[in-house]
Amino acid sequence: MPKTIQPGLPSPLGASLSGEGVNFALFSRHASHVSLQLFTNPEDAQPHKVIDLDAQHNRTGDVWHVWVKGIKPGALYAYRVDGPYAPEAGHRFNVNKLLLDPMACALTRFPDWDFEHALGYDPSSPGKDLTPLMVDNAGHMPKCVVVNDDFDWHEDILPKHPWANTIIYETHVRGFSVHSSSGLAHPGTYRGLIEKIPYLKELGVTTVELLPVQEFNETQVTSPLGKTLKNYWGYDPVVFKALKASYSSAKGFGGQVAEFREMVLAFHKAGLEVILDVVFNHTAETDVWGSTLSQRGIDNSVYYILDENKRFYKNYTGTGNTLNANEPAVQEMIIASLRWWAQRLHVDGFRFDLASILNREGSGNLLSSAPVLENMMKDPVLKDLKLIAEPWDAVGAYQLGRFSGTSWREWNDRFRDDVRRFWRSDDGLKGPFASRICGSSDIFSPSGKNPSHSINFVTCHDGFTLNDLVSYRYKRNMANKQNNQDGTNENFSDNGGAEGEPVSLDVQKARQRQIKNFLLSLFIARGVPMLLGGDEFCRTQAGNNNAYCQDNEISWYNWNDLKKNKEIFNFTRGMIAFRQAHPVLAKGQFYNAQDIQWFNTQKGAPNWDNPQEKQLGCLIFESKEQAIFLMFNASFEAVQFNLPSVYPTTRWYLAADTSRPSPQDCFAKGKEPLWENTRQYPVGPRSSVILLARQ
């Protein structure tokens, strides 16, 4: 080899600046030949330089590697990998396909990917056009970018909010600010998030959880009816370290990395954490008829869990393929990717989509102790970050309360469903509702976990917004071009008396009460509250409960709604402030008998076995001289609650009442008015109240 090209090193994987050049390293156990291809422009079909890797000099174990002098940040590259095309053995090598580095840190912005040129059909199926197997896709693929790792972090310090103080705000980078009403200089971008920091601080949240920013193809989605749609949510990663380029306003190849770092630094300076929603359960290559973009063409049988008939993929994700997360090479890729995000981009944690798949071994069976999860917990970089699991997959692995060790927090869909059903006035929900607001000990205590392991939410990106939860009994997903067959039918929603919009003033008021009830329930419950972005000002998706393909007004935040629904914003902000002012609500232990007492409307004990009883009182002792009395009325009639005798000289102060209009619905700390009647409080229909007991 000439001096400008040297054998290089097998570690680290990916493209790493090294001396006067770049070291390239690619894992492929079963490849017979690998070539590194260097490009000048993203749309180029032909590389300006091809470097063939010699198995004798450029291979160490299962890693192919080379060092190239003179390569600088911003350089574009990709691979071609040859080997057996033997689907019956699980191998799908195809030298006609240009492949992306699974460890690339950035891809070129390429909004119109032509996946048809990347398709790799299985010749075992009769009647299929096999031409795509032979078609070169290089001119229709983005290219990997060598990333500059230099960045001045200005002694950045991660906020590290304790779980007891954490309040999560889930949002989409683009949808949060792309609407013209945002009035931002950089709408729909990482810089747009920076511009909205004052708003997030005013609201009072501590942690922003971003929907996927791992690179994905926006033009990938096609409905079962053959209608081309937009991939908006991004739960189809192409490679796992590459940062989404179209969310950046930066110019130049790889500029998205610097802009994202600027965003994280700005968030940290404001005391806000950044959590990323990551997808390590599948890739965008989908099923046997999908595209060959990266892992499939590099080493299909290693990267994926294959069916007993190795032509096909086991599909525990509902998306066509399942990543073989506990295969050592794949495990190394996952942990190295997480380390990249944590060390080089300073993110504060991760929420793992369909995390139960990480508990599956190479045959798809569930493990009691998965190596990839164990190694995350032992990793010095990852073990102290915020780690959140969606503790299920698409085919029945439901592990809520039992996911891995005690370091993991878990999305609690039981909280969502039980709270929704209680406020819908379903029978028999008084007991489950009480369990949820107390931290779900029935779910988490058996495995030694505490309330802080429960991520409580009423709504999330997947489903109705809070406004739509109280406005629609039935989903309206026709815009998704699937005849309204997509999205869940079990929404446990109600409409306040009329479906959709427009509605009468009485219906509007009924819906407003319900929104406040949900917000109050979320923020007084033990556990970690998560608020869906936009719920604080009644963002609507017009009844669409599965807006994964709606990169438009259906999903975007219309900031005019903030002015229109300022009352809900103020109530949300007030309830967040109330939670922060009363730490007893957020303690990391379950309540015991000395901490809490339950009442019916007459000061007696509730009849937990009466399914028709829709009222519940809850007295929480803060100290020897202070207590909080919560009153919930999920019935359609107003009721009188007899107030308990807490202290000999108890005086009651009103903190919140969801039946009242603003500003009488929620009071700031120290501004709570005295409630003169020490014996009773009238709670309106479908309303909740917070009184403070003081001597």
In whole angstroms, what is the distance from residue 491 CA to residue 514 CA? 15
Q: Which of 613, 619, 615 is nearest to 683 (CA)?
A: 615
DSSP secondary structure, 347-406, as one string: --EEEETTGGGGGB-TTSPBPSS-HHHHHHHH-TTTTTSEEEE--B-TTS-B-TT-SSST
In whole angstroms, what is the distance from residue 622 CA to residue 611 CA? 30
Alpha-carbon distance values, 179 to 175, 176, 233, 555, 638 (Å)? 7, 8, 16, 10, 41
In whole angstroms, what is the distance from residue 470 CA to residue 461 CA? 16
Q: Which of 380, 383, 358 is nearest to 369 (CA)?
A: 358
CA atoms within 13 A on the CB side of 517: 28
**Positive or negative CA dihedral for 170, 174, 179, 181?**
positive
Structure tokens, 110: 């390429």
DSSP secondary structure, 113-142, as one string: --GGGGB---TTSTT---HHHH---GGGS-
Active-site residue among 209, 390, 393, 657? 390
* Annotated catalytic residue 390: yes
DSSP single-letter state for residue 36: E
In whole angstroms, what is the distance from residue 544 CA to residue 548 CA? 10
Task: Name the helix (H) or strand (E) containing 562.
Answer: helix 560-564
In whole angstroms, what is the distance from residue 635 CA to residue 614 CA? 5
In whole angstroms, what is the distance from residue 70 CA to residue 64 CA? 20
In whole angstroms, what is the distance from residue 216 CA to residue 110 CA? 10
Give the angle 476-478-483 at the CA atoms, nearest 5°. Answer: 115
Alpha-carbon distance values, 639 to 481, 507, 597, 657, 686 (Å)? 46, 20, 20, 14, 10
| DSSP-derived 3-state class of residue 548 | helix
Q: Tokens 């957020």 belong to which residue? A: 586
Task: Please state the three-class secondary structure of 139-174 as a single string.
Answer: HHCCCEECCCCCCCCCCCCCCCCCHHHCCEEEECHH
| DSSP-derived 3-state class of residue 635 | coil
In whole angstroms, what is the distance from residue 317 CA to residue 479 CA? 24
In whole angstroms, what is the distance from residue 582 CA to residue 670 CA? 12
CA atoms within 13 A on the CB side of 480: 22
Active-site residue among 353, 393, 665, 672? 353
* Annotated catalytic residue 150: no
Q: In what order do the strands lie in the sheet with 674-675?
A: 596-599, 615-621, 626-633, 687-694, 651-657, 674-675
Burial readout 564-597 (b: 16 or more C-beta within 10 A, e: otherwise): ebebbbbbbbbbbbbbbebebbbeeebbeeeebb
Q: Which residues are catalytic, by number? A: 353, 390
